[in-house]
Amino acid sequence: MSSKKQKDQSSLINTKNSLEKKVKIKLEKLYETIKKHDFAYYENHNPTISDAEYDEIRRLILEIEKDYPSLITSNSPSLRVGAEPSEKFKKVKHSTPMLSIQNAKNKEEVIAWSDSLRNFLRIDENNIIEYVAEPKIDGLSASLIYEDGVLKVGATRGNGKIGEDITENIKTIKGIPHTIDKKRAPKFLEIRGEVYMSHDNFNLLNEIQDKQGKELFKNPRNAAAGSLKQLDPKETAKRSLEFFAYAWGSASSLPYDNHYDLINFFKDLGFPTNDNFGLFKSIDELIIFYEDILERRGSLGYDIDGIVYKINRLDWRERLQSTEHHPRWAIAHKFPAEKAVTKILDIEIQVGRTGVLTPVARLSPVNIGGALVSNSSLHNFEEIKRKDIRIGDMVWVQRAGDVIPQVIKVIKEKRKNDLTSINPPDNCPVCGSKVVRDKIKLGKKEKEEKYIRCTGEFKCSSQVIERIKHFSSKSAFDIDGLGEKQINEYYSEKLIKSPVDIFYLEKKYKDNPPPFWRYTSGSKTKIGTIKDSALKLFEAINRKREIDLDRFLFSLGIRHLGLSSADLIANYYKSIDAMLENISSNSINQSMQELLSLDGVGEKVAISIIDFFQNSDTRQLIIELIESGITVKNYNKEIKETKISDKTILITGTLKTMSRAEAKVKIELLGAKLSSSLSKKTNYLIAGDKPTVSKVDKANNFGIRVFSEEEWNDFIEE
């Protein structure tokens, strides 16, 4: 090869590697974004973006993963379902995973899904595929386990593999039978369905909340989630929850071989099922059903956000199997967002943990899809400028994905002439510190960020409070009983001024208990008698004095540092002592080189880590946390292996017993990876009918084991 060709080839490889590194950084950031929103949705029941926005992020992730399969890591949301179960309840391991469901936003995507099933199963267009369809209820998935006709366990979905035991709460729900006909029902039967709250019960609950001076629930799903996870079943019973059965998990036997007949069988056993459920023989029939339900959506009496389509035949489902995230044989055809007109009464500014200023529109309350909407994030001042939003404007607001309110458009023809434009402030509205707009590098050029940021850091009370909230959050120290309300109260009483103070709360009580920790009787306070809630909080704090290094790094609230990057950095340094020693003693350039050498750690994260560990105040925070009795465990992640885990396999030619897609599923179920090209890293080659001869020859030269299709099937059976 000539030197010019070698140079060109080398340049091409370098360009490809550089591009792949940038894609990997982008993918890790998207993973972190999804993880944050999953926590808000599944754990806090208070999503911060719309379903539509969430779905678009997931779509982007799936597109990147399709083009760069080698970049997929265990952090991928395509391998994860729901959220970790709460420690407030006992754990229940699902015998069959409770997966999520893939989405389609239009008819074309539904057709593409159907076509992929035909290709996978090798079904030509002359054969009819039967589908079942029903509304996608906006509630919480639940599992009901019956043994010998008796309800034994009720559980949440949790993370899809392990849920929470909420049996006593489930028993309070109207329509769920405590016993079923054991002569007709399988000896062991797991029914799955959706717990929800009707519009009437939601409005009644909020009337009661309002009269009692409590915070109103934002929407029926939020109310249902809070009600189902009450520690006292009597409280759940007061909330008037309801249930629709729509599927099953494990069963000792099933009397039918299709979904439609099984759901009707469950209905006969006494389970409540949705009346808007049918059997269809074409995509066109499904779309007619979709449009009919969409038209009647407002009169159903409960929230739905689309229609779920499933293949009816169970033997086809068995062949299709599932990904880590969703079954291939089902899809949710989502509805467009609902919207209404209202007025912007004011625009307030919130200051977040990292100092970012977020404008929030205060709206004249308006009912959209059964929920009262009075606030909407405007995201940033660039967004305000782009949409030309002003206080006093009449605007279109939608609950995108039926969850998050967003201002989508100003109605200019209704604007009054005296409305003034909104400009970003020069100073923080909380602490008065200077506001800056950071710059990001784009090659050799620099571009200003969309967001503006307060430079006050620990001088800004909003940033300090948000840092403390982040520190005690689920993905960090996970301190039960130390939520937003308690942190705000303790901060105002000067009991918690930094995360370190959390671990001295019990001592402060013993020295001088504040009034809100004491029981009161009439006008007198019983000194020394502590409330149960305070005792439980101290116990929860003491249980969390040991933490993994990656979660500890994340808890510190270091700017731009997400859980995935924290995991990579923890894996490199292994201990907090090594990080304190290395980053403080090394030069900035040396630390930068070390951090940037880690795939997935970008320049922003590296700079933030170095700034944090070389800053005397934040270094002191780490030291004081350790002195308070915290143990930061060294990084030591356990790696499990299977028979052919991490092996790379290539298929050449046509397979006779299954489609290539089905073969891929079986290979991945065994922990291996299907490759699209042959290299020395390939472990096995499967040669089907009419294989590419050059690939077989090349595999033999590389010493790669070559299987015929029959030999491969025998090998797998072993």
Q: Which residues are catalytic?
A: 136
Task: Compute the distance between CA of residue 73 and CA of residue 65 in angstroms, rounded to an integer.
Answer: 10
Q: Record the tokens describing residue 547, joined without a space.
A: 């933490």
Name the one residue in this structure whose structure tokens are 């969390």: 544
Instruction: Report phi then psi at 94, rounded to 5.
Output: -75, 130
Amino acid (one-letter) located at 374: S
Strand ranges inside 523-680, DSSP E: 524-530, 546-548, 631-633, 648-652, 673-674
Burial pattern 447-467, b for ≥16 Cβ within 10 A else e, equals: eeeebbbbebbeebebbbbbb
Instruction: Report phi then psi at 664, rounded to 5.
Output: -60, -45
Give the single-character DSSP code of 39.
Answer: I
Question: Going by C-beta distance under 8 Å and a sequence separation of 6 or more, which residues neighbour residue 192?
Answer: 98, 141, 142, 143, 144, 245, 246, 247, 248, 249
Question: Going by C-beta distance under 8 Å and a sequence separation of 6 or more, which residues neighbour residue 439?
Answer: 446, 447, 448, 449
Q: What are the C-alpha distances in Å from 28 to residues 320, 538, 557?
A: 29, 36, 18
Task: Compute the distance between CA of residue 32 and CA of residue 600 in angstroms, rounded to an integer.
Answer: 11
Burial pattern 184-206, b for ≥16 Cβ within 10 A else e, equals: ebbeebbbbbbbbbbbebbeebb
**Residue 551: which of 538, 533, 569 has the closest Cα?**
569
Q: Record the tokens describing residue 445, joined without a space.
A: 């050029």
Give the single-character DSSP code of 324.
Answer: S
Give the single-character DSSP code of 40.
Answer: I
684, β-bridge pairs = 649, 705
Torsion of CA 510, 511, 515, 519, to 10 degrees: 30
Q: What are the C-alpha distances in Å from 463 to residues 469, 478, 487, 497, 552?
A: 10, 19, 13, 11, 19
Angle made by CA atoms 137, 198, 165, in degrees to the nearest 5: 65
- CA 19 to centroid of chain Cα atoms: 27
521 burial class (0-12, 13-18, 19+ CB within 10 angstroms)? exposed
Task: Compute the distance between CA of residue 418 and CA of residue 609 in angstroms, rounded to an integer.
Answer: 47
Amino acid (one-letter) located at 497: K
Q: What are the C-alpha distances in Å from 454 to residues 355, 423, 433, 570?
A: 5, 16, 6, 29
